[in-house]
Amino acid sequence: MEQARTFFVTGGAGFIGSCFVRLVLAEMPAARVVNFDALTYAGNLDNLEGVEEARHRFVRGDVCDPEAVLSSLDGGTDFLVNFAAESHVDRSIHSAAEFVRTNVLGTQVLLDAARAREVGRFVQVSTDEVMGSLPERDDAFFDEESPFAPNSPYAASKAAAEHLARAAHHTHQMDVVTTRCGNNYGPRQFPEKFLPLLLANARGDEPVPVYGDGRNVRDWIYVEDHCRAVLAAALKGKAGEAYNVGARNARQNIEVAESVLDLLGKPRGLLKFVKDRPGHDRRYAIDPAKAERELGWRPRESWESGLRKTIRWYEENGEWVERARSGAYRDYYRKQYGE
Ligand code: NAD
Ligand code: TYD
């Protein structure tokens, strides 16, 4: 019989965290999840609609508040999986303070709480962006030995969080595992990120803003494949190790935009080149060989199947999109792109 594992997931009302919560409950019939999330502009209880109530407990709380974390974290919890973060690079360019607070201070608070409560394993969900930008050559990849060179305030705050997690392992012998993934796409992504923005604007026949020359490269992965890798790292990863996660799917932004427009049957004339992002990283590409070898993990979706699923989800969930695109999104959109 499967062991009844307990998870404390932070940021589980966000895009990736909510997918992870669903995955754990579906794949591990005896698992229980405490989902701790502050419900910032990016957190959305709609993302948890239909999640089984008996094995899932939602707690609204801030990862920077030690008392709130400690009062919800049971002693001996098997896994603390830290997704909670400010996650949008463009927002970090407007203002970095909240990124330092949540991503750095929040991770330290969680590490301290995990140690106090003797949590079995701490999983830090990080990003390829901590390694900065690769040269524009098809044979350059990030591996686990690539040096840290974060270029945006977001990436710098995630790098700092990783350093704290690493130090907790080294100093306090905590069991810590880190995953570093590339750009996720899929259902329930907050609409200001590139792919959902592209989908929503194209469907509404509105211009799709492409930064700079559109030749920046990102390595795209379907969100559930990323979550399977995080779960594999939690269950099979080696303490103190980091695992790069990617689906060998590095593409220029312009290619991504054209694929989506073609699938939607929309004209490429909708693409609108706009002013580049300051400090825009040119190229990300991940070598996932270590995760494949040591975790026995492989992505299940191809770019084509993942995109088709994503487009279908947004088509079938217009109400979710409408609700997510009201409120904080509107103010941000005006500030970032003008009227
Ligand atoms: P998201 O912005 O959609 O969700 C973040 C969640 O964290 C939200 O539910 C929000 O309410 C919650 N949160 C924010 N501040 C909090 C606080 N102080 N206390 C408690 N909860 C708080 O982000 P996402 O895209 O789902 O990313 C999740 C994680 O994965 C992040 O750590 C991010 O750095 C990492 N990551 C994301 C990507 C990507 O492509 N989106 C790629 C690699 C890694
Ligand atoms: P984004 O989704 O913000 O993720 P990240 O910055 O973490 O990679 O952006 C993905 C890529 O798309 C990035 O190269 C910036 C670009 N981009 C645009 O060209 N236009 C946009 O409106 C946005 C939001 C992003």
Atom of ligand 2 nearest to the CA of 256: 12
CA 164/CA 251 separation, integer angstroms = 32
The atom number, within ligand 2, closest to the CA of 127 reads 7
CA distances from 121 to 12, 47, 110, 172, 323 (A): 17, 26, 12, 13, 36
CB of residue 11 inside a 6 A radius of ligand 1: yes
Which of 37, 62, 128, 225 is the catalytic position?
Answer: 128
Q: Tell me which of 37, 62, 86, 129 is the catalytic residue.
A: 129
Among the bound ligands, name the one nearest to the CA of residue 207.
2
Q: Can you give the pLDDT at residue 326?
A: 84
Look at residue 1 in the predicted model and tell me its pLDDT.
64
Is residue 96 one of the residues assigned to a domain? yes
Choose the residue to mutate in 40, 41, 157 for probing ligand 1, maximizing ligand atoms within 8 Å of C-beta: 40
Q: Which residues of 227-247 are buried (b: 16+ CB within 10 A; e: fewer)?
A: bbbbbbbbeebeeebbbbbbb
Task: Tell me, yes or no, whether 32 lies in a domain.
Answer: yes
Residue 129 among the catalytic residues: yes
Measured on CA atoms in the order 99, 127, 17, 29, is the torsion positive or negative?
A: negative
E strands, the chain, are 6-10, 32-37, 56-60, 79-82, 121-127, 176-181, 183-185, 208-211, 217-222, 242-245, 250-252, 271-274
Indicate whether 315 belongs to any domain: no
Mean pLDDT lowest among 111-115, 173-177, 258-262, 323-327: 323-327
The answer to whether 188 touches 134, Cβ cutoff 8 Å, is no
Which entry of 37, 62, 86, 154 is annotated as an active-site residue? Answer: 154
Distance 267 CA to ligand 1 centre (A): 33
Instruction: Respond yes or no: is residue 128 known to be catalytic.
Output: yes
Q: pTM here?
A: 0.98
CATH number of the domain residue 116 falls in: 3.40.50.720
Residue 339 has pLDDT above 80, yes or no: no
20 C-alpha to ligand 2 centroid (Å): 23
Q: pLDDT tens across 42-90, in order?
A: 999 999 999 999 999 999 999 999 999 999 999 999 999 999 999 999 9
User: What mean pLDDT value characterizes the chain?
Assistant: 96
Q: Which ligand 2 atom sits nearest the alpha carbon of residue 193?
A: 2
pLDDT at residue 138 is higher than 90: no
Task: Choose among 135, 170, 168, 136: nearest CA to 149.
Answer: 135
Specify which residues 251 forms β-bridges with: 218
* C-alpha 110 to ligand 1 mean position (Å): 15
C-alpha–C-alpha distance, residues 37 and 39, integer Å: 6
Tell me, using a 6 A CB cutoff, whether residue 197 lines ligand 2: yes
Selection from 40, 147, 178, 142 nearest residue 99 by Cα:
40
Q: Is 90 exceeded by the pLDDT of residue 232?
A: yes
CA–CA distance, 251 with 206 (Å, rounded to integer): 23
Residue 328 has pLDDT above 90, yes or no: no
Let me know if residue 60 belongs to a domain.
yes
Instruction: Please state, in angstroms and rounded to a whole number, the distance separating the CA atoms of residues 174 and 171.
Output: 8
At residue 41, the pLDDT reads 94
For range 133-148, the mean pLDDT: 96
Residue 245 has pLDDT above 80, yes or no: yes
- The reply to whether ligand 2 has any atom less than 6 angstroms from the CB of 24 is no
Count other Cβ atoms within 10 Å, centred on residue 113: 23
What Rg value do the Cα atoms of the chain yield, rounded?
A: 19
Q: Is residue 231 part of a domain?
A: yes
* Residues spanned by the domain of 73: 6-189+221-248+279-301
Is residue 210 domain-resident?
Answer: no
Domain count, the chain: 1
Q: If you measure from the C-alpha of residue 227 to the centroid of ligand 1, how many angstroms do you get, rounded to a whole number?
A: 13
- Does 107 reside within a domain? yes
How many Cβ atoms sit within 10 Å of the Cβ of residue 77? 21
Flag whether pLDDT at 240 surpasses 70.
yes
Q: What is the mean pLDDT of residues 193-208?
A: 96
pLDDT in tens, 8-28: 999 999 999 999 999 999 999
Q: How far apart are CA 34 and CA 74, in angstroms?
A: 9
pLDDT-based confidence at 273, cuts 50/70/90?
A: very high
Confidence of residue 107 (pLDDT cuts 50, 70, 90): very high
Residue 337 lies in a domain: no
- Band the pLDDT of 166: cuts 50, 70, 90: very high
Atom of ligand 1 nearest to the CA of 158: 34
Residue (of 270, 267, 254, 255) closest to 201 by Cα position = 270
